[in-house]
Amino acid sequence: MDKSCYTCRRRRIECEMSEPPCKKCKKAGLECFQERPLRWVVGATFRGKKKAASAKHASGAATKLSRGSPTGEGRYPRNLTNSDPTASSHAMEYGEDIPCENRGGSLDHFVLTVPVNPDDPFASSLDAVSKYYLYYYSKCVCKLFVMYDSKRNPLRNLIPAALSNPVLLTSIVALSARHMANGGQSFYELGTSTLPTLTDADHDALWFKYKAIRNISHALNNEKSHTNDTVVASAFLLIFLDLLESGSDKWNIHLEGVKKLITQSQPSMGSQADTGPSLGDTVQGIRDFIVRQMYLIDTLGATYTRPQLLSHMTSLPQPATPLQMTLDRSYLGCPEFLLDALRSFSICRDMLAGLDPLNEDSLNSDMENISIVLDLTRSFDCQAWASGLPQLHRHSTHDMDMLSALAEAYKAGALIYGRRVLDALVGDTTPLNDLVCGLIATIEALRCDEALFKCILWPMFVAGLESQQQDQRDFVISCLEKFWFETKCINVVNAANILRRFWKIGDSQQTLSSQWIFNIGQLGRDWLLI
């Protein structure tokens, strides 16, 4: 092509447009627009005249709002001084555009419409930084942790409560700041042993994380508010924050903490009028979403950690509806049956890893139970599961096939994991090359579906652990790179590093393939790879 793309023109750089996407946009992780994209706006948006200001004055204004300032807010993002607090409240609704392709980069070219209703009495007290990160959260972060984004996104429904609750607000701002900071980093640079240079965006993300943890800590020490739905939701968001940061540090601590909070709040879930702001009319939907995702995170997280690291979720309230909810209210879309099967496999693995040796009767009983669950897993009908899901909108045959492929990926991963547990029981190693090849083929089919591809890190990692051929390993690493490009979650970078170390150890030492179910949690830390 003989002209620059719109994205490069907007960034004021020379374009290398050979074919869309151009090389500059692809390298920077930006969406390559050939022409200026249309933006549909509901209601009027008013902007004041831009005041002339020197670089010196701009720097001074930023300093006043930097860390340690009387306002207590983080470093002021550039060009937010011109944000209009009277902007339309519709700007935060699903479907409105924000240039997420610039995440982590300069904000110099942003034209920011503050997504806050001016009639909201709490909105007027928000500083411009919080308003911006609420907007960024709505447009760029919420869609990462659900299968299909929509107006009913449970994470986006937290925003009204955040306007009046500083605990929830700081958790959202911390999550947004970290995602934006990650956007300026490279998959392969993060994979090196050298420590990355912390940018201003990294410092901001760390500062907001500190504020979020401090606010949650204060709320937990307050008897009137420690069981609030907003506190539970705030702590729950820290699990997602850990996925963005590493996927290995504190996610299990946050998980156990949220379990306890949910259990303690059960008796008072009927009314919270005396305990501070709640989540309003959406409270039951938010509770159900959190409980579902806690079960999913607890189940998948246990497979890559040291045995018996996580407590059992026996005391949590059951969701009002089945786990496989509508597609716009589900995180990863793993069928409930397969989660139950994986939980059975993990419990058996934990028993094998226990200090007390199992007697012959216990071993025989465990082998029989695992064999039964494996047979049931093999007979699980992924096509029927996909067809029975409540539909978000009219799906074509291709869409249904993709949903079925999503279930097939988790089914293959569960079969591999369960087979390795059975191998550990009988002291054998079963060749699983056909199953691994099928899983890799399913992952390849899902690469073209952005919404579903971001849901399959767990089975992708299983495929990597079982890959014996170099072309399979190269394929898995390329998929992890694409996953990073789509999500900017650093846990996927660590997943690639773990696999490289695992392959190096496996190629140099003669170890049983089944042993990874025990020692994967020993390769550095306990990992949440979802």
Radius of gyration (C-alpha) of the chain in whole angstroms: 24
- Alpha helices (runs of H) in 73-153, residue ranges in sequence order: 128-136
pLDDT at 443: 97
- In b/e form, how buried is each residue of 207-228, taking b as 16+ CB within 10 angstroms? bbbebbbebbeebbeeeebbbb
pLDDT band, very low/low/confident/very high, at 312 (cuts 50, 70, 90): low
Residue 196's pLDDT band, with cuts at 50, 70 and 90, is: low
Handedness of CA 147, 149, 153, 155 (dihedral sign): positive
Domains and CATH numbers, the chain: 1-36 (4.10.240.10), 128-267+277-522 (no CATH)
Separation CA 41–CA 111 (nearest Å) = 14
**pLDDT, tens digit, for every residue of 468-517?**
899 999 999 999 999 999 999 999 999 999 899 888 887 776 655 568 88
Mean pLDDT over all residues of the chain?
76
- Once rounded to an integer, what is the mean pLDDT over residues 418-442? 93
- Nearest of 6, 208, 202 to residue 99 by alpha carbon: 6
Are 487 and 451 spatial neighbours (Cβ–Cβ below 8 Å)?
Answer: no
Q: How far is CA 395 from CA 199, 391, 400, in A?
A: 43, 7, 7
In the predicted model, is pLDDT for residue 392 greater than 90?
Answer: no
pLDDT bin (cut points 50, 70, 90) of residue 408 is very high
Residues contacting residue 227 through CB under 8 Å, at least 6 positions apart: 261, 264, 265, 268, 275
Helix, strand, or coil here: 84? strand
Instruction: Give the whole-angstrom CA distance, residue 234 versus residue 245.
Output: 17
Closest CA to 226 of 268, 256, 254, 255: 268
CA–CA gap between residue 289 and residue 291 (Å, rounded): 6
- Cα distance between residue 171 and residue 174, in whole Å: 5
CB atoms under 10 Å from CB of 276, counted, come to 18
Number of H helices, E strands in the chain: 21, 0
Which tens digit of pLDDT belongs to each residue from 21-61? 888 887 776 778 777 765 433 334 434 444 333 333 333 33
Query: What's the one-letter identity of residue 28?
Result: A
Bond preceding residue 37 cis, omega within 30 of 0:
no
Report field, pTM of the whole predicted structure over 0.85:
no
CA 154, distance to chain mean position in Å, is 14
Q: Which residues contact 302 (CB under 8 A, 6 or more apart)?
A: 309, 310, 343, 346
Q: Which helix (H) or strand (E) holds 162?
A: helix 159-163
